[in-house]
Amino acid sequence: MMRRHVQRKLGSRQAGRQGLARLGRRAGVFAAVAGLAVLPTAHAASRSGPTAGGPAPAAADHRDLNTPLAGGRGKHWAYVANTNSNSVSVIDTRTNRVTTTIPVGSGPDDLKVTPNGRFVYVANGGSNSVSVIDTRTNRVTITIPVDGPVSGVAVAPNGRFVYATVASGGPTGAAPGDVTVIDARTNRVTTTIPVGAIPDDLVVTPNSRFAYVVNLGSNNASVIDTRTNRVTTTIPVGDTPIDADVAPDGRFVYVTNSASNSVSVIDTRTNRVTTTIPVSGEPFGVKASPNGKLVYVTDHSSNDVSVIDARHNRVTATIPVGTSPAGLDFTPNSKFAYVADFRSKAVSVIDTRTERVTTTIPVGDGPNDVAIG
């Protein structure tokens, strides 16, 4: 069943429907795993050593990634990964205008801003690499090679490490996926951690102690202890989990299950799913608001956003947006949400108080994720 679902998503672009944005364009990944049913998910130890693909990249000036930038840059910039145009659009959220477009690797899928706003890490699914953008110059300063197609990236809140999900640990696709660990001070790969089948995204808890990895191919989430870089437990979730986010207080992790049309809520104290929230057509991106009151979920095939009351874990509204919404993020004050509309080549800006789209911003081709910082 997993294979049929993956193949349907893989072929959706040719069919004109686009399917899941994050899945549909990574042809190399799904060609490699097309003959697999379920891959092993339990692993005792990480694989250490440098990544394949040549010498480690040169170090960057990443000293104290939690220290705010000098010069008052502020957290009012939205970065948008444009999968089909191999670029990142930069939006000034004060004016809602694109100020520049930055070329990156092939098929950028996911991106995150460091806590101090100094760098943006971009997962390039088509070129097996992570681009590092210096936000002072809006240029790629370093490209870090990884050992396979990378789909998700997360920066630890303490700024010490960057984690990237890699769908295949070997050229045949027979190995489980892994999480590549990058030292943010040197931009060197320090280790890789085996996880489940086709890890698609991950999130790090606010205390930087644990990473939760959603494994699209094995319908579960791997929990990594970031002190030991080992998987400590594996949590069953819904069918085809594709994205995850954590509540600001670290109490819950939210996982979108695309084929189940649901969101799994994991209690991080027990590492068990405590509730499952039904949503509409093919949930994709998920984001908890910084004030902890709301969880927004993009519904990829119904072209809307489900609004979840985080206190009661129920959908209170749906907001129409553009076509095939994918990733999203909130402004730091929780007043606005920016949603990447994959097929519309635009970003919808939602006023969270009125639950309406206030403006639509044209960006590149295939916007797949948004990160604000």
pLDDT tens-place string over residues 6-25: 333 333 322 332 333 344 33
Q: How far apart are CA 226 and CA 191, in angstroms?
A: 11
pLDDT(38) > 90: no
pTM, to two decimals:
0.84
Q: Who wins on pLDDT, 250 or 26?
A: 250
Backbone angles phi, psi at 343, to 5 degrees: -80, -20
pLDDT(328) > 80: yes
Contacts of 369 (CB under 8 A, 6+ apart): 80, 81, 109, 110, 111, 285, 326, 327, 340
pLDDT(126) > 90: yes
Contacts of 4 (CB under 8 A, 6+ apart): none
pLDDT(68) > 90: no
pLDDT(339) > 50: yes
pLDDT(67) > 50: no
Give residue 231's pLDDT band: very low, low, confident or very high (50, 70, 90). very high
Give residue 74's pLDDT band: very low, low, confident or very high (50, 70, 90). low
Amino acid making up residue 32: A
DSSP state of 158: T
Average pLDDT over residues 342-350: 98
% of the chain beyond a pLDDT of 70: 78
Q: How far apart are CA 327 and CA 30, in angstroms?
A: 21
Identify the pLDDT of residue 197: 94
Average pLDDT over residues 110-129: 97
Tell me: the pLDDT tens digits for 172-217?
A: 344 579 999 999 999 999 999 999 999 999 999 999 999 999 999 9
Average pLDDT over residues 313-323: 98
Distance of CA 303 to the CA centre of its chain: 19
Contact 294, 334 (CB under 8 A): yes
Tell me: the pLDDT tens digits for 215-230?
A: 999 999 999 999 999 9
Backbone angles phi, psi at 21, to 5 degrees: -60, -45
Of 214, 192, 193, the residue nearest 203 (C-alpha): 214
Strand pairing category for 220-225 and 210-215: antiparallel
Identify the pLDDT of residue 28: 35
Tell me: the pLDDT tens digits for 259-310?
A: 999 999 999 999 999 999 999 889 999 999 999 999 999 999 999 999 999 9
Contact 284, 299 (CB under 8 A): yes
Q: How far apart are CA 368 and CA 305, in angstroms?
A: 15
Identify the pLDDT of residue 280: 87
Q: Who wins on pLDDT, 369 or 39?
A: 369
Q: Which domains does the chain have, with CATH numbers?
A: 2-372 (2.130.10.10)
Strand pairing category for 77-82 and 188-194: unpaired
Strand partners of residue 215 = 199, 220
pLDDT(169) > 80: no
Average pLDDT in the chain: 84
pLDDT(48) > 50: no
